[in-house]
Structure formats: structure tokens, C-alpha cells
Homo-oligomer: A and B are copies of this chain.
Amino acid sequence: MNLLLLGEDEIDSTGAARLTGRRHTHAREVLRVQSGQTLRVGVRGGRLGSATVVEQTAEGLQLQVTLDHPPPPRARIDLVLAIPRPKALKRVIPAIASLGVDRVVLVNATRVEKSYFDSKVLAKAFLDELVDLGLEQAMDTVAPTIEVRERFKPFVEDELASWTDAKVRLVPHPTAAQALRPTTERVVLAIGPDGGWIPYEVDLLAANGFTPVTIGPRVLRVEVAVPALVGAVRG
């Protein structure tokens, strides 16, 4: 963890903060913090800076916080992601948060196994923790929004229409005719499940403004495909 994330309500008007729970355990056992030491901190949704450890006890860490710079720029990318198997989801959510993606909609698709919906990884508290891992890694304070949609068609036809800021819509597919080209525009990527979107799903996405593009014929795991696509879009 490269950053300690604090809630706005955890810091008082004098800059004093108290760290408990997982973050305290990590600071004590992994970072082995000592009184007087300086840590990088950030306020959820807000600015970053440093904190001096004033006191270190079994109950918690007393910090004095100074916030002096904004979080890193956003990737300006949104993802429509067919729900991956739970093991892959556990890896890709921290990656997504660390890359600065703004919106993630985890959607059902024909090739998404129904059992995935019962996975504990889809629980809000679990997803929040995975997001925090990514933010702490990338030294960011701004979490992506994550939503789950059990019905693909109404999501694509009704909800996506309201994403008026996202004009560049791409559905990456290994065998697409058109190569993905970097752009400075905001981009929505619709990333299919293992085995890909079925033709009906690609057609529905295409009818709603998504262009099939490719970064090459290689079939990549979702946790590899997402960073590779984000890298390629931002080029």
C-alpha cells in the first residue's frame, strides 16, 4: 500500500486523524511505522499529502495530516464488463481502480455463468475493499463507481443512452476489422466474457454506438485485456 486512505470525517479541523482497523494493522505490521515517521495519505474523493505519526498504540495510530496536492488525472475511460469469474474479478477490480477508470458496469451476458451472481466478490463491501487496494496502489483517492446489471439488453438500450458524455464507444474483439487507435476523447469499452460476446450482443452494442475494434488476434484474460486496452486507448 503506497497510500493511506482516510475518510473526510476522520480528520478534524486541526488536521488530526486517528487510524484504526485494517489500515492500522497494515501500518503497524507491514509498514512497521514509528512515531515521528511520515506517511503518504489521501482523503477519499479529495486531496493527497503527508501525515506525521504522532502516537502509535495498540488501539490506533494518531496522525497529523497535511494535504497539498490533487489526485492524479482520470483515465477518462468507462467499462461495460461482462462479469468475469470471481477469481478474475478479484484481480481486475483493483487493476481498474489503479488505472483511474471512472465507471464500471458489471453486466450479465450469455457466456457469463449464472453462478457468478452468487459470488461474495460482487457484494458491495467486498468490491469496496478491492477498489481501495487499487487506489492505495496507484495513490489515487477517487474510486470508480461500480454497478451490477443482471439484464444486458435494458442496460444497453436504456441506460447507456444516458451516458451522453461518452461518445467514443468501442467493443474490443480479437478478430474485429478495425484497429483500436489512441484518442484523447472519453471512451467506453465493452469487454466481453471468456469466450466473448455472442453475435446478438455485439449487434446490440453496435446498434447503440459501439464500434468493434481490435488490439490484435490474441485472446487475453480479462485482467490482462483491461490494462492493455486502457494503455492502447490512451496510447
Interface string of A85-122 (1 = CB under 8 A from B): 00000010011001110000000000000000000000
List chain B residues, Cβ under 8 A from A227.
Answer: 220, 224-228, 231
Instruction: Say yes or no for A124: interface residue by CB 8 A criterion.
Output: no
Q: Of the listed stretches A8-16, A29-37, A132-140, A146-154, name the one at the interface; the rest are far from the partner chain.
A: A132-140
Mask, A29-52, CB within 8 Å of B = 1, is 000000000000000000000000
Contact with B along A69-81 (1 / 0, CB 8 A): 0001101000000
**Chain B binder among A17-25, A160-168, A198-206, A211-219:** A211-219
The answer to whether A230 has its CB under 8 Å from any CB of chain B is yes
Instruction: Judge if A186 is at the interface, Cβ distance under 8 Å.
Output: no
Q: Contact residue range for chain A?
A: 35 or more
Given contacts A224-B99, A231-B229, A234-B232, is CB(A72)–CB(B138) below 8 Å? no
A182 touches B224 (CB 8 A): no
Q: A73 CA to B235 CA in the complex, in Å?
A: 20
Assess whether A98 is in contact with B231, with CB atoms less than 8 Å apart.
no
Task: Let me know if B220 and A138 touch, CB within 8 A.
Answer: yes
Query: Given known contacts A231-B227, A231-B228, is B182 in contact with A219 (CB within 8 Å)?
Result: no
Can you tell how many copies of this chain the complex includes? 2
Chain B, Cβ-Cβ closest to A100: B218
Given A182-B182, A231-B229, A235-B235, verify A218-B95 contact (CB < 8 Å): no
Q: How far is the CA of A94 from the CA of B182 in the complex (A)?
A: 26
A26 at the interface (CB under 8 A from B): no
| Distance to closest chain B CB from A221 (angstroms) | 6
What is the distance, in angstroms, from A98's C-beta to the closest C-beta of chain B? 6
CB distance from A224 to the nearest CB of B (A): 5
CA of A225 to CA of B234 in the docked complex: distance in angstroms?
Answer: 14
